[in-house]
A = this chain, B = another copy of it.
Amino acid sequence: MGKIVIGQAGGPTAVINTSLVGFIENISGKSPIYGVLNGYEGLVNENYIKLEGPSLNWAKSNKYMPAACLGSGRYPFAEEQITIAVDNLIKNNITTLVFIGGNGTMAALQDISEASSVKGYPLQVIGIPKTVDNDLGLTDHAPGFGSAAKFVAYSARDISLDLRAMSNFEKVRIIETMGRNAGWLALAAGALQKDASEGPHKIYIPEQKFFVNDFLRDIKDVVKEYGTAAVVVSEGLKIDDGDPIHTSIINERTVLGGISQRLQTLVETNLGFVCRAENLGMNQRCFSLAVSNQDRLEAYEVGKKAAELVKDGKTGVMVGIKRTAGNEYNFTLEGYELVKVRDAGERLLPAGFINNPEVYYEWLSPLI
């Protein structure tokens, strides 16, 4: 009897544990269930825990807790590590591998699947989607995004209103959101805005070029019109076509952050306005009071669906969310081929949403 292993990878979300519990509560059968610790690293280091009795109850107790209870992380996972991982899967008689993750994870699962095939090892692989950036292909959206977008939308509205109340003390706030290449989260900042004066007054996304001179002119115009300017910038913006601002490089991964401070200095130096940088930070992906009910529900359902796909003997697929037609929001769960998810790459904001944010906010509304 082969073992079933489930893991979590990449940046956590506020609902990734809900997907884990959705899986383990619904994967009945005779196969023993294991959790792999710290994502791919645990595959390389053979770091598994059997989920039964107290450890199963412990995992279930994390259903509504943020972060990744099995440990997630970012770990170099190139050909060498994949080979080791596959050898370990074979050695440990693991016949089913399930991972909750984003783009990188879906590509890694497909790579593992292909490397297993080469060795003639019949490994079943299933992916469960999660991302706060919403840059995962094929699926309408992925669990984690709705709650992150909710945090960003409320933060941007509340910080804009707070600024307006302080107009005799400060004039500008620059709110920094996550989003390396995709502006889904940044643009969500305007979802609760009731009128143009309220703010956020401008939103800058990585899909569009960003020039300092235009930005400074925008700030000047907005302050002139509304008295204060609350603007939103995605961490991935490339100022005047330069490199994105980053804090460090770890394992060859650039950790973005700091653009709001860079722009704060430019505003103060060039326009003389008192300006504050507000980096929304890690709370975007983990703040438990901003979890959206719909996001929580869907996070559980994709985990449950993955359990069904395992029982049905499916392999090489990621669970995806398909929005059904009609006025009322509804969805079905589909299995999308991992190879197609990998090949689809990062999903950016479509032009229709960029050009008509109101259309985007209508699309977003049921998710937050």
| Interface set of A (CB-CB < 8 Å, partner B) | 8, 11-12, 14, 38-39, 41, 65-69, 71-75, 150-151, 154-155, 157-159, 161-170, 173, 247-248, 250-251, 255, 257, 268, 274, 276, 278-283, 285-290
Contact = CB atoms under 8 A, between A and B. Distances in A.
Contact of A166 (B12, B165, B169, B278): B12
Most chain B CB within 10 A, of A65, A68, A161, is at A161
Contacts of A162: 12, 66-67, 282, 285-286
Nearest to A283: B155
Contacts of A257: 276
List the 3 closest A-B pairs by CB distance, nearest first.
A67-B161, A68-B165, A73-B168
10 contacts: A11-B166, A41-B168, A72-B166, A74-B166, A158-B282, A162-B286, A276-B282, A278-B281, A280-B283, A283-B283
A282 B173 contact: yes
A67 B158 contact: yes
Given A67-B161, A159-B283, A282-B159, A166 B289 contact: no
A165 B71 contact: yes
Q: Most chain-B CB neighbours within 10 Å: which of A75, A251, A286?
A: A286
A169 B73 contact: yes
Contact of A38 (B69, B71, B168, B170): B168
Contacts of A75: 168-169
B158 A287 contact: yes
Contacts of A39: 168
A319 B155 CA distance: 30
A349 B169 CA distance: 28
A158 B73 contact: no
Contacts of A247: 276
Nearest to A227: B71
A161 B72 CA distance: 11
A251 B170 CA distance: 11
A228 to B, nearest CB: 11
Contacts of A11: 166
A66 B282 contact: no
A67 B165 contact: yes
A173 B283 CA distance: 12
A274 B250 contact: yes
A161 B289 contact: no
A88 to B, nearest CB: 17
B288 A158 contact: yes
Given A38-B168, A279-B281, A283-B283, 8 more contacts: A11-B166, A65-B161, A67-B162, A71-B164, A169-B251, A257-B276, A278-B282, A278-B283
A168 B161 CA distance: 39
Given A154-B289, A283-B159, A166 B73 contact: yes
